[in-house]
A and B are shown apart, each in its own frame.
Chain A
């Protein structure tokens, strides 16, 4: 379980996404804010339905209780915590572990149980 230092927390864009390269894989990293608490999520950047690396450029939000990103290509929603597509539940994309440490954002190819918060 190797953590990789990706970028500074300031490099994240509030209520939006950026893309990072982790061992050759494209990862979309999103920063949301819930009741003043920053929440960071990381999923694969590749949209298997639109077949392009675009998810970091989607709009984030919520559908019911689920925190999601909408693909900018054909607008399917992906759950940021499970990687599951809401419209086509058989489609699941990778989810990555995130931690915030000393103002830096770290990614792990293996998802942690606990979602990262500002630590």
Chain B
């Protein structure tokens, strides 16, 4: 291995980055330098439109500067190359920098083609290619109402999605008579047009734009060859890409007639020390405008530089994606151009699904396919095409609806079958990873990189892994614990169907042993959300976690914190004074929580009833901070006060919090209501998020902050309050019914077969016919709500538990506080030790906790 070779890369797009990543993995010592034209390192261009629906630049990033530094990769940002001096093997940048190379890799990518239409250089005529472009689009959209995308190909529709997400009236103008003419046949293109039009994007096909002039209603007017015109404030060109090949041209490398740096099977240019990969490279007169072939080229060059012999042999251009929410798939010979090819076509005009399968003249091999509106068959079909597998006797079964539930058995795939084309992972690689000890999806993903590119193969990967596990005799169990051979969902079913009211009854009928700290709280939650009994009723007492038993949150020293409910974060001055006075009287530490309420820390067990008596007397209710239940409904101040608010978000938040308070669920639930799209309540990071619109409320579901953030999915738009509440009732009840123990809604959604679309079908279309039942169950729970602290204070038997010792009124001397920033905090072990040495413990009276003594000492 030549350890001191200088490898210079020009361009840090997805392909350039992949090359660096792969080379570093193969050769830890290579000197790698990358010159990057943009202001940041590589990012995910495939999911660019996500930038407008909440994905940040950081989330799109494929790497970080720290990661490059740690891998000893030299990089320059904002660095444009002026010239390549092939004789001296030297590259000169526009800032005058010079970089020598032994091997040079051109990964310069492509730029958006702007058709030569008069008026195309005006201020709000933009392209859609880089993060910088997106910032410019957002800026322009802020002062625009109507936007037009010129170009109805794959990228054009992505761009249209971006404009739609920015709230513009969106049009797509395409020169060809149909959308996505490369990937779809005419009927598929029509179905796509129809669906996209229904989603509010107007499609104009067969339109040649001749000029962009000043508009009457809008900023500009597009004038078409047929005499018609279209008014718009913003024009976005997405009419194809052109390779960045100027550098190659000016240093005399061979380029194609229509652009592109000519490369051979080794991805070498006409200079053996210069390689070209990705969208700037021209292989056999072809430019590959997808990321997977670019990655393949990158790996070929890595292989060449590290002594391997890999060659580039073309790439599969099949693609599956979601455009504007419409599923589209295209495989191989979509246009049936192979001589003798036969086509099977299935159309469902009601569901607006179009599927076409192109097979060889003998009907034995799959040549291509077009899928619009439903791509559930894509993975199976692609495997048939890529692996040249023999089709079943009746191949039409593969696209007919009856077959859609039965994807190709992963077990029948050969080991050579490519599962992940982004990272070129074959089934054999996955099996090998499992042989070496990986036995869950996460570890297989990190070990093989499968499904970490575009993510299109996620479902297929899962079925390969599941089938492989099954064939190895590994039973995929979902049992709650050793006492119940059932999942949480099954137990809930047993409880509700059998009318079981206590843990003892459930255990004797369906379990074994005595139960444990896993199944007891789970069953307590199931019983609560089925029958809503008082949680401290005698048979339920021993089932609860300590927090539920004492209706407070245990802290590290065994003391508790207390959180009264402050619905929607709205509180009167009088009530604030009460909380303040209680905190003073009981010497509690106070802190404002993230859920817009106040947490009081440092309460000893025996103090809890007295504290709560004061709070309940002042009209407070328990905040359920201790429960797997609704925590808070956060709100912004809304239209009542805010200049921008369009609805009363506080009023809505209070109503919703009061509706669902006390609801026991598999895990805690957080909600928020924002009064306008500025989203000050951060509703999109909540299990249930509600954002006001001019016409009502947009409902977001299954978001999460915390350890594993998940952006909530937009579930339904412009709902009136009644419909909003109905949907939330149904969603929450379905979650309670079907989620696993301690499964937040975000993970529940990710595990839900069919995902968001399925949830919509069940909740909105009521496909399972359980809507009314779910609503009735929720109504029963809402109607039987009672504040648990109020009930406890009225129950002498329950109150007996709130004492440290059954045989003494003393307090736990082990709970010791010191002062910090004018409040109490638990003493550290060291502080307690020091303090014990000075004053014997037995002299401690509970009313004089050693706050002051220690504060002075420190």
Contacts and interface: CB of A to CB of B under 8 A. Distances in A.
Interface of A: 6-7, 11, 13-16, 18-21, 24, 26, 29, 32, 34, 46, 50-54, 57-64, 67-68, 70, 72-73, 75, 77
B558 A59 contact: no
B343 to A, nearest CB: 61
A6 B558 contact: no
Contacts of B807: 6-7, 20-21
Contacts of A73: 554, 556, 558
Contacts of B541: 13-16
Contact of B556 (A50, A60, A75): A50
Given A20-B808, A54-B558, A57-B549, 4 more contacts: A19-B805, A19-B806, A62-B515, A75-B517
Interface of B: 482-483, 513-517, 519-521, 538, 541-547, 549-550, 554, 556-558, 800-801, 804-808, 810, 812, 814-815, 829, 842
Contacts of B547: 72
A56 B800 CA distance: 14
B808 A21 contact: yes
Nearest to B524: A59
Nearest to A31: B542
Contacts of B521: 59
Contacts of A68: 516
A7 B806 contact: yes
Given A14-B541, A15-B542, A53-B558, A59 B806 contact: no
Residue of B514, B543, B812 contacting most chain A CB atoms (<10 Å)? B514
Contacts of A46: 814
Contacts of A77: 517
Nearest to A32: B514
B516 A62 contact: yes
A82 to B, nearest CB: 17
A15 B541 CA distance: 8
A16 B482 contact: no
A61 B520 contact: yes
Nearest to A60: B542
Contacts of A75: 517
19 contacts: A6-B807, A11-B800, A13-B542, A14-B538, A15-B541, A18-B806, A19-B805, A21-B805, A52-B815, A53-B814, A57-B550, A59-B516, A59-B517, A59-B520, A61-B519, A62-B514, A62-B515, A64-B482, A70-B516
Contacts of B517: 58-59, 61, 70, 75, 77
A13 B545 contact: no
Contact of B810 (A21, A32, A63): A21
B556 A61 contact: no
Nearest to B514: A62
A52 to B, nearest CB: 4
B558 A14 contact: no
Given A13-B541, A21-B810, A73-B556, A61 B514 contact: yes
Nearest to A16: B542
B513 A62 contact: yes
A61 B521 CA distance: 12
Given A21-B805, A63-B516, A70-B516, A54 B482 contact: no
Contacts of B544: 59
Contacts of B538: 14
A11 B554 contact: no
A77 B801 CA distance: 22
Given A21-B805, A52-B556, A72 B812 contact: no
B482 A72 contact: no
A57 B546 contact: yes
Contacts of B558: 52-54, 73
A32 B504 CA distance: 12
Nearest to B513: A62
Nearest to B832: A51
Contact of B554 (A54, A59, A61, A62): A54
Contacts, number: 98
Residue of A6, A51, A57, A60 contacting most chain B CB atoms (<10 Å)? A57
Nearest to A12: B806
B805 A51 contact: no
B846 to A, nearest CB: 13
Nearest to A14: B542
A54 B550 CA distance: 12
A22 B322 CA distance: 69
Contacts of B514: 32, 34, 60-62, 67
Contacts of B804: 19, 53
A44 B805 CA distance: 13
Nearest to B521: A59
A61 B805 contact: no
Contacts of B805: 19-21, 26
Closest 10 CB pairs of A and B: A15-B542, A70-B517, A52-B558, A61-B516, A72-B546, A62-B514, A16-B542, A59-B517, A57-B546, A62-B513
Contacts of B542: 13-16, 59-60
A57 B554 contact: yes
Residue of A6, A15, A26, A51 contacting most chain B CB atoms (<10 Å)? A15
Contact of B806 (A15, A20, A54, A63): A20
A46 B538 CA distance: 26
Contacts of A14: 538, 541-542
A61 B519 CA distance: 10
A111 B173 CA distance: 87
Contact of B545 (A11, A59, A67): A59
Contacts of A70: 516-517
B512 to A, nearest CB: 9
B520 to A, nearest CB: 5
A53 B812 contact: yes
A8 to B, nearest CB: 9
A34 B513 CA distance: 10
A7 B515 CA distance: 27
A29 B546 CA distance: 15
Nearest to A107: B807
A6 B808 CA distance: 10
Contacts of A18: 801, 806
Contacts of B806: 6-7, 11, 18-20, 29
Contacts of B556: 50, 52, 73
Contacts of A62: 483, 513-516
B546 A54 contact: yes
Nearest to A62: B514
A72 B545 contact: yes
B548 to A, nearest CB: 10
A18 B842 CA distance: 22
A72 B626 CA distance: 13
A77 B519 CA distance: 14
B549 to A, nearest CB: 7
A64 B810 CA distance: 37
B138 to A, nearest CB: 47
A13 B520 contact: no
B545 A26 contact: no
Contacts of A26: 805, 812
A77 B518 CA distance: 12
Contacts of B550: 57
A14 B515 CA distance: 14
Contacts of A58: 517, 546
Contacts of B546: 54, 57-58, 72
A75 to B, nearest CB: 6
Contacts of B814: 46, 52-53
A109 B181 CA distance: 86
A40 B558 CA distance: 24
Nearest to A64: B482
A64 B516 CA distance: 10
A50 to B, nearest CB: 7
Given A20-B807, A54-B554, A54-B558, A13 B513 contact: no
Contacts of B545: 59, 72
A79 to B, nearest CB: 13
Contacts of A51: 557, 829
Residue of A14, A61, A64 contacting most chain B CB atoms (<10 Å)? A61
